[in-house]
Structure 1
Amino acid sequence: MKSIFHNPDNQQINFLDKRYYTKDNVNYYPSVTTVLEALPKGWALEQWKKDLGHNADLVLERAAKEGSNVHDAIESYLGGAEVRWQDEKTGNSYNLTEWTSILRFVDFWETYQPELIANEMNIISDTYRLGGTIDIVCRIAGQLWLIDAKTSNSIYDSMELQLSAYATMWNEVAPEKIERTGILHLKAQTRGADKTGKKIQGLGWQLKEFDRHYSQAWQSFQLLRGVWDECNPDYKPANLTLPDRVKLKRTA
């Protein structure tokens, strides 16, 4: 989703709220992750924030940045580009955690050799009044998967609901329906391939499935959406319009 619009004729820059999606700049729908903000975070997270104090925001911001960097690298890799630890043009390099996650994704992809169907696909549903960005849709061993790569330390309940929403939105427009969904956890505690051959995993990564089918989780998401709608009856994105140039004004 494009979030920055530059109008040189009006000398303006419009920064759109990334939490919302739109097809026509008239009707705005919340992102799936925005709706999930209505889900209680749990006692453990709140206690962690309390113990860490002001540093908690810095840690969360850093984790989000790392996740974004890894997703960008995965998108480039799946697009056929060579991903290097250090960019020769900018001199920027991935930190150890990011590069490890990237290599774990490569291990997954090279080991199971999925057929890529879609990657970083923006999807907007007028029916469900939702928007989102699907990480990966691919075919593994003949089955169509919807996968979301995560660099978090743990797997959370909200991730199951996120997958259910993406799968439902995909099924609304795509001729081939999603058969299985999973979180590709790039910080798993796995020590290698599953000896039984039943699980898709490797050293430090695992394609985690949830116990119930995503159609059942979608019902839970809809209940949560009802709560979110009650708290946001007239939701609109907070767009910010700024001038695109400045110049010192000299007085006579």
Structure 2
Amino acid sequence: MAGVSTIKRGGSRFYVDPDDGRIKVPGVTSIAGMAPKDFLTYWNAKIVAETAVEHRDTVLKLAERDPAGAVDYLKGAPRRYTRAASDLGSAAHDMFERQARGDTINPRHVHADIKPHVRWFDEFLQEIQPEFLHLEETVWSDEHLYAGSFDAIARIDGEVVLLDWKTSKAVYDSVALQLSAYRYANRIILAETGESVDVPAMTGGAVLHVRPEGWQFVPVECGEEVFRAFLALREVFDWERDGKKGVVGRPIAKGGEQETGTMRRAA
């Protein structure tokens, strides 16, 4: 059976073993997502505040007739922003894969929002001249029970490296965790045939960061030390999903004048 299917459970992505559908392992991105993201608290507040200011007329009119709706509109601002960025990133990734495979791209069929990205990716191909060994394949770790989909493995200037395409505002450190997980997985499951092949030895990883205004090729450390951090998050994933369930038991003794819901109703 070719390819590897995925499912979503509890907000996390799981990969289904193509040989045994009973085996499901968490995805690399979901595991890397276990790392603390304190900055998101401030980012969410910033997006909500900007939405309130930039769309104040809309918010005020909505608040007059539907206060709860106005609150929901503002609360949903970060989610809408993230979804729009994700949609743009997905569309750009699709084009990047086609360009990497050598497909002819008709500019008239490219959405206006990603035309600059397509242009810069083509410039990257011409300038860096990567020789692609694998594109958009799935890695599987039998040893540590995880899987994930990488963008590319390529030979550049005689060295084999992992590549990741990014269209986000910045290159975030979490990409190092992802690349290390791909690098040290046990095998690649080929989408076309379902055959498993060894993950090639690599010297490192890099991000091609493509924005409307240009592109940059950024090296990323994804060696064994980074991989150990990823494996720690793999343990955290299991803890958050199952390990913490039931660790706090029922009281075996109590006293004082604690007021329970039952006592309040009885009063």
Report if the CA contact (8 A) 1:170-1:178 is conserved: no
Q: Tell me the distance in 1 between the aligned counterparts of 2:234 and 2:122.
A: 35
Query: What is the aligned partner in structure 2 of residue 130 from structure 1?
Result: 146
Aligned to 1:243: none
Counterpart Cα distance in 2 of 1:140 and 1:170: 23
1:221 aligns to 2:230 (yes or no): yes
| Root-mean-square deviation (Å) | 2.3
The Cα of 1:78 is off from its aligned counterpart by 2.0
- Please say if 1:26 is aligned against 2:35: no
Q: CA deviation at 1:34?
A: 0.7
Deviation at 1:179, TM superposition (A): 0.9
1:27/1:139 Cα in 2 relative to 1: closer, same or farther (>3 Å)?
A: same
Partner of 1:198: none
Q: Does 1:157 align with 2:166?
A: no
- Can you give the 5+ residue segments of structure 1 that lack an aligned partner in the other structure? 5-15, 88-92, 189-202, 235-252
Deviation at 1:171, TM superposition (A): 7.0
Is 1:207 aligned with 2:217? yes
Matches within 5 A, 1:34-73: 34-43=30-39, 45-53=40-48, 54-73=76-95
Is this contact kept in 2: 1:22–1:124, CA < 8 A?
no
TM-superposed deviation, 1:95: 2.9
Structure 1 residues 35 and 130 mapped into 2: Cα distance closer, same or farther (>3 Å)?
same
Q: Is the 8 A contact 2:44 2:78 kept in 1?
A: yes
Partner SS state of residue 242, structure 2: coil
- Which residue in 2 is equivalent to 1:114? 130
> Whose helix fraction is larger, Structure 1's or Structure 2's?
2
Distance change >3 Å, CA 161–CA 175, structure 1 → 2? closer
* Distance of aligned partners of 1:29 and 1:133 in 2 relative to their CA distance in 1, 3 Å threshold: same
- Correspondences of 1:160-171 after superposition (within 5 Å): 160-169=176-185
Give yes or no for the alignment of 1:95 onto 2:124.
no
Task: Indicate the structure (1 or 2) with the bigger Cα radius of gyration.
Answer: 2
Question: What is the CA–CA distance in structure 2 between the aligned matches of 1:56 and 1:175, rounded to whole Å?
Answer: 37
Q: 1:126 to 1:115 in 2, by over 3 A?
A: same
Q: String of CA shifts for 1:206-248, please: whole Å, max 9, x gaps.
A: 22113x45221101111111111111138xxxxxxxxxxxxxx
Deviations along 1:133-158, whole A, 9 cap, x unmatched? 11010101100010000000011111
Per-residue CA deviation, residues 167-195 of structure 1 (Å, 9 max, x unaligned), is 1116785263011201111139xxxxxxx
Aligned AA (1:116): F
The percent of aligned pairs where both chains have the same amino acid is: 28
TM superposition outliers: structure 1 runs of 4+ over 6 Å: none
Gapped regions of structure 2 (runs ≥ 5): 49-75, 189-196, 244-267
Aligned to 1:140: 156
- Mapped contact 1:186–1:205 kept (Cα < 8 A): yes
- 1:152 is paired with a residue whose SS is coil
Higher relative contact order (CA 8 A, sep 6+): 1
Match of 2:211 among 187, 195, 199: 187
Whole-Å separation in 1 of the counterparts to 2:200 and 2:223: 16
TM-score normalised to structure 2 length: 0.69
**CA deviation vs aligned residue, 1:60-95 (integer Å, no higher than 9, x gap):** 0010011111111111122232123333xxxxx413
For 1:115 and 1:150, the matched residues in 2 are separated by 19
Residues paired across the two proteins, number:
201
Q: Could you tell me how far apart the structure 1 residues matched to 2:140 and 2:186 are?
A: 9
